[in-house]
A and B are shown apart, each in its own frame.
Chain A
Amino acid sequence: MSDTLLELDCLSVDYETSRGDLKALRDISFDVKKGEIVGIVGESGCGKSTLISSILRLTAPNTRFREGEIRFKGRNLLAASEKQMRDLRGADMSIVFQDPMQTHNPVLTIGRQMLDIQHRSRSPKAEKLARAARMLGALGIPDPEARLKQYPHEFSGGMRQRIAIAMALMSEPDLLIADEPTTALDATLEVQIIERLQELQREMNCAVLFISHHLGVIAELCDRVVVMYAGAVVESGEVREIFHNPKHPYTRRLIDCDPGHIKTRARVLPTIPGEVPDLAALPQGCVFRDRCTQAMPHCAAQVPPLSKLEEAHHAACWLNHGEVPA
C-alpha cells in the first residue's frame, strides 16, 4: 500500500431540496498522505463543511452521494456500513469543530465527556481520567485534574478549543480534521493553539486536514493546499507554489484580499466583487467566470478541467492552457 491515507476521487455530493438538487460538491479529487498537513481554503459556502461531514459520513438526511469515492486507508467509506463508520470516528479519524462554545455538552463535566469518548478502551476509569488529564496538560491547560470536574461553561473559548483538540487527539488518530478551529478565537490565542497543534502533530505523526479561511495560518502550518470555490477544487498544490505562483485567478484574488498580505495602508480593503453562484442553478462553463477579470468567451462554454501544471500543482483554469480548444 502507498503512503496515501485519505483519497477523494471525483466526489460529487448533492443536497436534495424543494428547489431541486443543490450541487454542493462537484468532482472533488485530492489526497492526504500519512503525517501530512493539508489545508483547505475557500470562502463561506464553498463546500468545506459538506466535504468534512462527507468524510466522516455525518451528513444531513437530504445528502446524496452522486458519484466518486472517499477512500480511507484504501477502503471506500461511502460503501462502509454505519457500524464500520462509527468504529472509525473518534478512533482512526477525529475532528475539531469550528465553534468551541457549542462543541461540548453543557450539562456534563469535561471529565465525564473525556471519559465517554474512550468508550473503546478497556482500561479502568482512573486510568482513563489520568489519560484525559495528561492530554489537557499537553494542550497547556493548567491544573488539569481539578478542571476535569468542571463544566464547559466554566472555561473560556480558548480553553474550550484546547479541550476539543485534546479530545480529538486522545485516540492518537491517523487523521485529524480541523474545521476552522481558531476562527472564533483572537489572534494571539490562535498562534498559541496552532503552535501547540503543530508540536503534537509532529509527536503523533498524524495527518491533518486543516480547513481555514485564514491564509496566514495555512501558509504557516500546511504542506499542501486545496483551494475550493463554489463546491469545486480550483487549484491545489504545495504551499509555496500556491502562494508564490498561483495559477488560478481566484487564488490570486484570495491572496490579494488577505489582510495579512496588504502592506500599504488602503482606504478601501480589496474584495472580490460579485457573489458565489447559486448551487441549485449553476451557470454553464467555469463557475468563477462572473467574478473573473480575465474571463474569455471559451470560459462560458466549458468547465475547465483540473489539470496538472507541474508535479504537485493542479489548477482548473483555461488561462493555463496554451491553446484554448475552440
Chain B
Amino acid sequence: MFFYAARRFGLALLILFVAVTVMFLMIRAVPGDPVQIMLGPRATPELQARLTAELALDQPIIKQLMIFYGNMLQGDLGIDVFSGRSVTTIVFQQLPHTLWLIFASITWSASLGIALGAYAAAHPNTAIDRAAAAVSVSFVAAPAFVVALLSLLIFAVHLQWFPAIGAGEGFWDRLNHLVLPAFAIGLSWVGYIARLVRASMLEVMGESHVRTARAFGLSERRIVLIYALRIAILPVVTVIGVGMGFLLSSAVFAEIVFARPGLGKLVIDSITTRNYPIVMGSVLISTGLFVISTALADLINAWLDPRARAAR
C-alpha cells in the first residue's frame, strides 16, 4: 500500500508539472503585452522597461519558466499588480472558503446519492426504484445556477431560513452560510451518483460471489451493505475524484450568486481586471486541487480493492 501511494503521488507530481507548464505557456501566448495592460496606456517607457525586467518578461521563455518554477518552489507565486500583496497570501486566504463549499457539497450529495442508489438497486423495478429514478434524473437535469438562484429566492429571500450572502463568522454561522450554496451545486450530483451506484450495484448483485454469500444464509442487509456496496462504490470514488474539478467550476457560480468569498470569485474578479499573477496563482492551486483529488480517489480505491493494489 505504501509503495502504491508513493508511486501514485509521484505520478500526481508529474501531471501537475505538465499541467502547470502548459498553462504557463498558454498564458504567455495570449496576445497583448501584459506590462502595457497592467500599467495602462499612459505609462512611461522607463516604467514599462522596469516592470518588464521585474517580471523577467525580457528573458527567453525557458528561462522564464525556470524562474517561475524556482519561485513557486519557494512558495512565491508573484505579486498582485494592484495591491502589491503576495499572490500566495491572497489565494490561500480565499482557498478555505472554496474547499469548505466543495467538501460540503460532495459530502451531502455523495452520501444521499449512494444511499438512494443502493436502496433502488436492492429493490429493483419497484415503485420506490422508479420514483428514485425520476427524482435522480430531474436532479441531474437541473442546472446549478438555476438551482442556486431559485433556492436563494425561496429559502433566503422568501422563507428567510438561511442567510443569502457571505461566508459567515465562526463555525456554526459558516455552516449556516454553506447550506444553500452546497445544496445548489450538490443537487445534480445526488442524481448522478444515485444512478451510477444503482447501475454498478445491480451489476455486482448479479455476480457469483453474491450468490455464494446468499447460499451461506448471510442476511440480505449484510450482503448489500458490505459484500456488494464495497465493490459497487469503486467507480463512484473515481467519478467523485474527477468531479472535484467540475465542482470547482460550479463553485464559481455559487460564489457569485451567493456573493461568497472564494477561489472562483477571486478568479472572475482578477480576469476582469486582467490581474494575471492572481489568475495564474488561482489556476495553479485549482489544478493542484484537482490532481490531488484524483490521486486521493485512486488511493481510496486501492484501499477498498486489493486487486487494484496488486496491479500496476
Binding site for B on A (CB under 8 A): 56, 58, 86-91, 94-95, 97, 99, 102-108, 116-117, 119-120, 151, 153-154, 164, 167
With A151-B306, A151-B307 as contacts: A103 and B218 at CB distance below 8 Å: no
With A89-B217, A105-B227, A107-B231 as contacts: A58 and B211 at CB distance below 8 Å: yes
B312 to chain A, nearest CB (A): 14
Contact: B208 with A103, CB < 8 Å?
Answer: yes
Contact: A106 with B215, CB < 8 Å?
Answer: no
Contact: A106 with B307, CB < 8 Å?
Answer: yes
With A86-B217, A87-B217, A89-B217 as contacts: A103 and B310 at CB distance below 8 Å: no
Task: Indicate if B304 sits at the interface (CB-CB under 8 A).
Answer: yes
Task: Indicate if B203 sits at the interface (CB-CB under 8 A).
Answer: no
The listed residue with most B CB atoms (<10 A of its CB), out of A56, A90, A154, is A90
Q: Out of A58, A104, A116, which one reaches B218, CB within 8 Å?
A: A116
With A89-B216, A97-B208, A102-B207 as contacts: A108 and B307 at CB distance below 8 Å: no
Contact: B304 with A90, CB < 8 Å?
Answer: no
A64 to chain B, nearest CB (A): 18
Report B216-235 residues with CB < 8 Å from chain A CB: 216-219, 222, 226-227, 230-231
Q: Out of A107, A116, A120, which one reaches B222, CB within 8 Å?
A: A116
**Alpha-carbon gap, A91 to B218, bound state (A):** 11
26 residue pairs of the A-B complex, CB under 8 angstroms, read: A58-B211, A58-B215, A86-B217, A86-B219, A90-B216, A90-B218, A91-B217, A99-B208, A103-B208, A103-B209, A105-B213, A106-B209, A107-B230, A108-B226, A108-B227, A116-B213, A116-B216, A119-B218, A119-B219, A119-B222, A120-B217, A151-B306, A153-B306, A153-B307, A153-B310, A167-B216
The listed residue with most B CB atoms (<10 A of its CB), out of A97, A105, A120, is A105
Task: Indicate if B305 sits at the interface (CB-CB under 8 A).
Answer: yes
B267 to chain A, nearest CB (A): 40
Chain A neighbourhood of B207, CB < 8 A:
102
**Alpha-carbon gap, A15 to B307, bound state (A):** 36
Chain B interface residue count, CB cutoff 8 Å, equals 22
Task: Indicate if B214 sits at the interface (CB-CB under 8 A).
Answer: yes
Chain B neighbourhood of A120, CB < 8 A:
217
Binding site for A on B (CB under 8 A): 207-209, 211-219, 222, 226-227, 230-231, 304-307, 310
Question: Chain B: which residue is nearest A151 at the CB level?
Answer: B306
5 smallest beta-carbon distances between A and B, as pairs: A90-B216, A102-B208, A89-B217, A90-B217, A117-B216
**Alpha-carbon gap, A123 to B49, bound state (A):** 83
B204 to chain A, nearest CB (A): 10
Contacts A89-B216, A103-B212, A154-B310 known; 13 new A-B pairs at CB < 8 A:
A58-B211, A58-B215, A97-B208, A99-B208, A102-B209, A103-B209, A104-B209, A108-B226, A108-B230, A116-B216, A116-B218, A151-B306, A151-B307
Question: Chain A: which residue is nearest B124 at the CB level?
Answer: A61
Chain A neighbourhood of B304, CB < 8 A:
107
Contact: A89 with B213, CB < 8 Å?
Answer: no
**Alpha-carbon gap, A105 to B211, bound state (A):** 10
Contact: B307 with A104, CB < 8 Å?
Answer: no
Q: Out of A99, A119, A164, which one reaches B217, CB within 8 Å?
A: A119
Q: Out of B213, B216, B219, B306, which one reaches A94, CB within 8 Å?
A: B216
Chain B neighbourhood of A117, CB < 8 A:
216-218
Chain A neighbourhood of B230, CB < 8 A:
107-108
**Alpha-carbon gap, A90 to B218, bound state (A):** 9
B307 to chain A, nearest CB (A): 5
B208 to chain A, nearest CB (A): 4
Chain B neighbourhood of A164, CB < 8 A:
212
Contact: A88 with B218, CB < 8 Å?
Answer: no
Contact: A107 with B208, CB < 8 Å?
Answer: no
Chain B neighbourhood of A86, CB < 8 A:
217, 219
**Alpha-carbon gap, A91 to B219, bound state (A):** 14
Contact: A106 with B305, CB < 8 Å?
Answer: yes
**Alpha-carbon gap, A154 to B209, bound state (A):** 16
**Alpha-carbon gap, A88 to B216, bound state (A):** 9
A321 to chain B, nearest CB (A): 41
**Alpha-carbon gap, A103 to B211, bound state (A):** 8
**Alpha-carbon gap, A97 to B215, bound state (A):** 10
Chain A neighbourhood of B216, CB < 8 A:
89-90, 94, 116-117, 167
**Alpha-carbon gap, A164 to B226, bound state (A):** 20
Chain A neighbourhood of B306, CB < 8 A:
106-107, 151, 153
Chain B neighbourhood of A105, CB < 8 A:
209, 212-213, 227, 231
Question: Chain A: which residue is nearest B125 at the CB level?
Answer: A61
Chain A neighbourhood of B219, CB < 8 A:
86, 119
The listed residue with most B CB atoms (<10 A of its CB), out of A58, A99, A108, is A108
A131 to chain B, nearest CB (A): 15
A62 to chain B, nearest CB (A): 12
B239 to chain A, nearest CB (A): 18
Chain B neighbourhood of A151, CB < 8 A:
306-307
A29 to chain B, nearest CB (A): 24
A101 to chain B, nearest CB (A): 9
**Alpha-carbon gap, A86 to B208, bound state (A):** 18
Chain A neighbourhood of B218, CB < 8 A:
90, 116-117, 119
**Alpha-carbon gap, A164 to B207, bound state (A):** 16
Question: Chain A: which residue is nearest B311 at the CB level?
Answer: A153
The listed residue with most B CB atoms (<10 A of its CB), out of A86, A89, A97, A107, is A107
Contact: A97 with B211, CB < 8 Å?
Answer: yes
B110 to chain A, nearest CB (A): 19
Question: Chain B: which residue is nearest A118 at the CB level?
Answer: B216
Chain B neighbourhood of A58, CB < 8 A:
211, 214-215
Contact: B209 with A90, CB < 8 Å?
Answer: no
